[in-house]
């Protein structure tokens, strides 16, 4: 940490332009967070001045008092002062924080603390579930938002059977249609047994697509050999 705030470079003005009035300089005390006589936990009666409106990093060996200064002194005092500013009714619902062992702290702004510890031991926890934003995202994508097909750019919407029938009947006469049933999506393998089982059940045409390539319809007796280490999409042509 430095002992002084570096001066700002002078503002440049256009030639012959009237100079803008200088903004009043902030008092020196307003630019610093001053700590005097901090003795919380591992701290040994330390004094320091921390510049405000700057990114400050506290480093040191394990047990040197980093957390004692950041969490147990600065944050604890900031939280304590905030709670004391509330009404007596509001204070009864908040946890009371003890005053840290320090002689003086000046220039302390409202503080927010994020500790370096796991908030959940569930291995399936994500940032969305821990921050409780997952439910809102699910609502956004499922109800509030409008999803679009990544291949065709058309909006996706839930359709009833009656709506599907109406859409088919609205097509021009002679339009050819195919009814497909998805059986594999983005899975690796040759799927020999799957094709044998489907052929035994009477299906004779399949639409097959590989990763990075388009999908193509094949007759059962003309199926290509699928690459074992590529991801495939397989649909059964029902009708």
**Per-residue confidence at 29, pLDDT binned at 50, 70, 90?**
low
Q: Does residue 208 lie in a domain region?
A: yes
pLDDT at residue 90 is higher than 50: yes
- Give domain status of residue 192, yes or no: yes
Confidence of residue 24 (pLDDT cuts 50, 70, 90): low
* Range of the structural domain that residue 76 is part of: 28-106
User: How many independent structural domains does the chain possess?
Assistant: 2
Residue 111 contacts residue 78 (beta carbons within 8 Å): yes
Helix boundaries (H) for the chain = 66-69, 76-84, 88-91, 127-130, 134-139, 161-169, 192-200
For residue 183, being part of any structural domain is answered with yes
1 pLDDT exceeds 80? no
Asked whether residue 166 is domain-assigned, the answer is no
**H/E run at residue 185:** strand 180-188
Whether 113 maps to a domain, the answer reads no
Query: Which residue, chain included where needed, has tokens 């991801």?
Result: 231
User: Does 30 score more than 80 pLDDT?
Assistant: no
Residue of 238, 211, 208 lying closest to 223 (CA atoms): 208
**Nearest residue to 204 via CA among 220, 216, 190, 185:** 220
pLDDT of residue 206: 93
Last residue of one domain, picked from the residues 78, 106, 134: 106
Please give the model's pTM, rounded to 2 decimal places. 0.41
pLDDT given at position 26: 53
Q: Are 35 and 1 in contact (CB under 8 A)?
A: no
What are the structure tokens assigned to 203, written together?
């299906």
Write out the two tokens for 59. 């480093």
Distance between CA atoms of residues 140 and 134, nearest Å: 10
Separation CA 239–CA 235 (nearest Å): 12
pLDDT of residue 128: 83
Reported as a single tens digit per residue, the pLDDT across 218-237 is 998 888 889 888 999 999 99
pLDDT in tens, 119-139: 556 767 777 887 788 889 988
More confident residue, 130 or 35: 35
User: What is the mean predicted confidence (pLDDT) over 180-185?
Assistant: 92
With respect to residue 115, please indicate whether it lies within any of the assigned structural domains: no
Where among 106, 133, 161 does a domain terminate? 106
- DSSP annotation of 16 reads T
Residue that is last in its domain, among 106, 140, 167: 106
* CATH number of the domain where residue 59 is located: 3.40.50.300
For residue 210, what are the β-bridge partners? 232
Q: What are phi and psi of 148, to 5 degrees?
A: -125, 145
Q: Is residue 67 part of a domain?
A: yes
The CATH number assigned to the domain holding 215 equals: 3.30.190.20
Dihedral angle over CA of 189, 192, 196, 202, nearest 10:
50
Residue 3, pLDDT score = 47
Decide if 78 is inside a domain: yes
Cβ-in-10-Å burial (0-12, 13-18, 19+) of 38 comes to buried
């Amino acid at each position: 940490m430095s002992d002084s705030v570096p001066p700002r470079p002078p503002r440049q003005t256009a030639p012959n332009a009237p100079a803008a009035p200088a903004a009043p300089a902030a008092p020196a005390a307003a630019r610093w967070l001053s700590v005097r006589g901090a003795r919380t936990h591992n701290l040994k009666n330390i004094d320091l001045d921390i510049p405000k409106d700057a990114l400050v990093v506290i480093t040191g060996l394990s047990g040197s008092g980093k957390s004692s200064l950041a969490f147990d002194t600065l944050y604890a005092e900031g939280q304590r002062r905030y709670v004391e500013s509330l009404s007596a009714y509001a204070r009864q619902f908040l946890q009371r924080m003890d005053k840290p062992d320090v002689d003086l702290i000046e220039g302390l702004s409202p503080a927010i603390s994020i500790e370096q510890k796991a908030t959940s031991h569930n291995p399936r926890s994500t940032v969305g579930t821990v921050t409780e934003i997952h439910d809102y995202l699910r609502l956004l994508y499922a109800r509030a938002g409008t999803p679009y097909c990544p291949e065709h750019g058309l909006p996706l919407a839930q359709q009833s059977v009656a709506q599907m029938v109406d859409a088919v009947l609205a097509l021009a006469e002679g339009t050819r249609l195919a009814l497909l049933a998805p059986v594999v999506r983005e899975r690796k393998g040759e799927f020999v047994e799957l094709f044998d089982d489907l052929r035994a059940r009477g299906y004779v045409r399949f639409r097959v697509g590989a990763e990075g390539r388009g999908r193509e319809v094949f007759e059962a007796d003309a199926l290509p050999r699928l690459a074992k280490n590529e991801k495939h999409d397989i649909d059964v042509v029902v009708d």
